[in-house]
Amino acid sequence: MNPQNKITQSQKLMVFVLSMTLYGLATLFTELIPSFQVGIVEFSVEYFLFIPLTLAMLFDPLSAALGAATGELVFSEIMLGQFGGLGELEKFITVTIGVFIAGRIVRNPQKRGMVAFASILGVTVQQLMGCAVDILKVQFAVEEFEAVPGLPESVFFTEGFACLNDILFSGILFCMLPTMFLVPKLYGKIEPLLGMKPRDEKTSLAGGVLPAKTILICIAAFAAAIAAELLASGGYELIDWEAAWAGSTANIIIAIIIAAVVSLIVIGVIRSRAAQRNEAGQR
């Protein structure tokens, strides 16, 4: 056993807390920095993803990624009441995956090229997933999506553009450049403050850069993200389809009651699962 190279549970917690508080604070600001529009093109300081990216490259990537996602959820969603329910799960998962992948592929944080590539890759992954989900979301939310004149094109255009814009504008300006600036500067300085050794080729990873298992988990998580988003915003196709008979009041009421019952069942399932978990005495 080599205790010096192993990251302890409490060190992971430190990274989690660090990433959560810092990224949380940053998202709180970005909620408030106004975006400005030139025509229909929106330039927004989308987020300060460079913070978790930097931390993920220096420390344990998973803790940093989870910390960042939690931080955003808690600070900007819950604290400011911008919580979008299940839909937030989508952002949570995509941010986690993006940051995790970026942090995972950096072997030597002192190589600027590597850092730059990883950070832009992380952003791209996160943005593409977010974009795909967004398009699907509008498709489900607006009934007879195709029938509304101009809507499908505008959705594809705005979402696609927003995605490209976020990758190029936010991605380079607010993620890649700051990460390139911060990682080498912090390397070797911040680790001792947490009582850790700086990452090097040996300590960075066990196993390959991106083992197949990791990729599979990422894909599965992304699928879950889409499902959550659609469940949250799209509602069930079912209801749209039944809109034909929903003319009568009684039917609507029945539908509502069904919805209420479904939500109660969902709660029940969550509850019992939680209870089982507790019995299993998991952490």
- Give yes or no for residue 2 binding another protein (CB under 8 A): no
Give the whole-angstrom CA distance, residue 130 versus residue 167: 11
Task: Check residue 279 for interaction with another protein (CB under 8 A).
Answer: yes
Instruction: Check binding of 112 to another protein (CB under 8 A).
Output: no
Q: CB count, 10 Å around CB of 262?
A: 11
As a whole number of angstroms, the distance between CA 82 and CA 88 comes to: 10
Footprint (CB under 8 A) of another protein, residues 203-222? none
Instruction: Please tell me the chain's helix, strand, coil percentages from 3-state DSSP, rounded to the nearest 5.
Output: 75, 0, 25
Candidates 164, 168, 193, 224: give the one binding another protein (CB under 8 A): 193
Do residues 105 and 201 lie in contact, with contact meaning Cβ atoms separated by under 8 Å? no
Minimum separation from the CB atom of position 224 to another protein (A): 16
53 binds another protein, rule: CB under 8 A = no
Among positions 56-75, residues that touch another protein (CB under 8 A) are 70-71, 73-75
Beta carbon of residue 103, minimum distance to another protein (angstroms, whole number): 15
* List of residues 6+ apart from 124 with CB closer than 8 A: 167, 171
Could you give phi then psi for residue 197, rounded to 5 degrees? -95, 145
79 binds another protein (CB under 8 A): yes
The interface region with another protein, picked from 104-112, 114-122, 143-151, 216-224 by CB under 8 A, is 143-151
List the alpha helices (DSSP H) in 144-248: 151-165, 177-186, 190-193, 201-204, 212-229, 237-241
Residue 8 within binding range of another protein, rule CB under 8 A: yes
Residue 24 touches another protein, criterion: CB under 8 A: yes
Q: Among residues 111, 114, 136, 158, which is the contact residue for another protein, using CB under 8 A? A: 158
CA-based nearest residue to 72, from 44, 99, 43: 99
In DSSP terms, which residues pair with 38 in a beta bridge?
41
Nearer to another protein, 215 or 217 (CB): 217
Kindly state the number of chain residues that form the binding site for another protein, as judged by CB under 8 A.
Answer: 100
Q: Is 226 in the site for another protein (CB under 8 A)?
A: no
